[in-house]
Structure 1
Amino acid sequence: MKTKDMIQCTLCCVLMIIGGLLHISIGPIPLTLQVLMLCITVFLLQKQAWISVALYIVMGLIGLPVFASGGGFGYVLYPSFGFLLGFLIAALIGGYLYAYLLPKTKFAAIMTGIAMEAVIYIVALPYLYVIMTTVMGTTLTVSTLFSAYFLTFLPGDLVSVFIAALFIPRLAKVIKLQK
């Protein structure tokens, strides 16, 4: 990995940190800007985006307070940790999808972002359910899980995808990551 690549991955990791620290607590899952930052990271770094997300997760797990509710290895027992795992898998899949969807159009970015959202929720919702029902002892039905943790967050996440897709061509040219 070149020095330029390491710097870009680090800067995108900082975006993820900022996206998590700017949050509104509305229950066990805070409302953050991380999906927007994840989309920007994937659209800029493409195949290397997962490195930024992995760095972010490792930093939080070793105890740095970079997650929305702090940090430390115990964070794996938070209901929101499934979203972080979903971000990592979505960055890996989305980065490869976007890297090979040519030309780099807004439509390709939107489709990649929607695919990433699907991955995030496929990973996060079962994780959230298991943590809330087994670790926290909360009674949670599948319909409540779907309405409270999917339908509540999906509109904002889709807006984040569209915002990132709208601004990424200009942003990429400004910082000269893409030709």
Structure 2
Amino acid sequence: MRLKTREVTLISMFTALTAIGAFIKIPTPVVPFTLQFLFCAYAGIFLGAKHGLYSQLLYVGIGLVGIPIFANGGGPAYLLQPTFGYLIGFIMCAFIIGKRTESLEEISFLNVLTPVLTGLFFVYLIGVSYLYMIVNLYVGRQMSVVEALMVGFMPYIAPDLILSGVIAFTAVTVVPVLRRSGLVKSIKQ
């Protein structure tokens, strides 16, 4: 697999944007609200499935090596943080959104919103499941599934749904321009 300089630059840029999104946060008791999902979704839309996936893998890899680019730090011990599942979810999210949008002939609000919401579903599915597992198995505190949903899903779903709408709305404007300029591949290419 050989990546062109342009592709490496774009992958790195979305890795950096996701890291910046981690520091734009509203602290809450267990899971901080950040803008990581915004940049993860844009990585899938603008880079496609493969390169969007690479950008998020690079982000998680850099953080696990020890660079404190996650919302609460970094390093290999971060695997045991209750919020690490959301990072795994970002990897899946970028891939899923990219896979479902890169082949769209018509860019419309609903055509983009549906993949973004699908990607968001996987962020929460993996994130809340991991939160539940770590709290129960590693932290040693008993947490019910309902409690995990109340801590890791309910406070964030409304802002993330609004963010999903913003992502779809902006993509409808930006993607056609990027396709015409050749920066984003059109399915006809």
Q: Give the TM bin, normalised by the shorter chain.
A: over 0.9
TM-score by length of structure 1 reads 0.93
Inter-partner Cα distance in structure 2 for 1:96 and 1:145: 29
Letter in 1 for 2:117: I
* Counterpart for residue 102 of structure 1: 105
Residue 56 of structure 1: how far off its partner (Å): 0.3
* Counterpart for residue 134 of structure 1: 137
Residue 147 of structure 1: how far off its partner (Å): 2.2
Q: 1:44 aligns with which of 38, 43, 46?
A: 46
Residue 102 of structure 1: how far off its partner (Å): 2.4
Residue 174 of structure 1: how far off its partner (Å): 6.4
Residue 58 of structure 1: how far off its partner (Å): 0.4
Residue 14 of structure 1: how far off its partner (Å): 1.1
Q: Where does the alignment leave 5 or more consecutive residues of structure 2 unmatched?
A: none
Letter in 1 for 2:63: G
1:91 and 2:94 equivalent?
A: yes
Letter in 2 for 1:140: M
Inter-partner Cα distance in structure 2 for 1:108 and 1:169: 9
Inter-partner Cα distance in structure 2 for 1:25 and 1:134: 24
* Counterpart for residue 6 of structure 1: 8
Residue 112 of structure 1: how far off its partner (Å): 0.6
1:160 and 2:163 equivalent?
A: yes
Percent same amino acid among aligned pairs?
27
2:41·2:93 contact (CA, 8 Å) conserved in 1?
no
Letter in 2 for 1:77: L
Structure 1 window deviating more from structure 2 (51-60 vs 132-141): it is 132-141
* Counterpart for residue 15 of structure 1: 17
Residue 11 of structure 1: how far off its partner (Å): 0.8
Residue 104 of structure 1: how far off its partner (Å): 2.3
Q: 2:64 aligns with which of 61, 64, 81?
A: 61
What is the aligned-residue RMSD (CA, Å)? 1.6
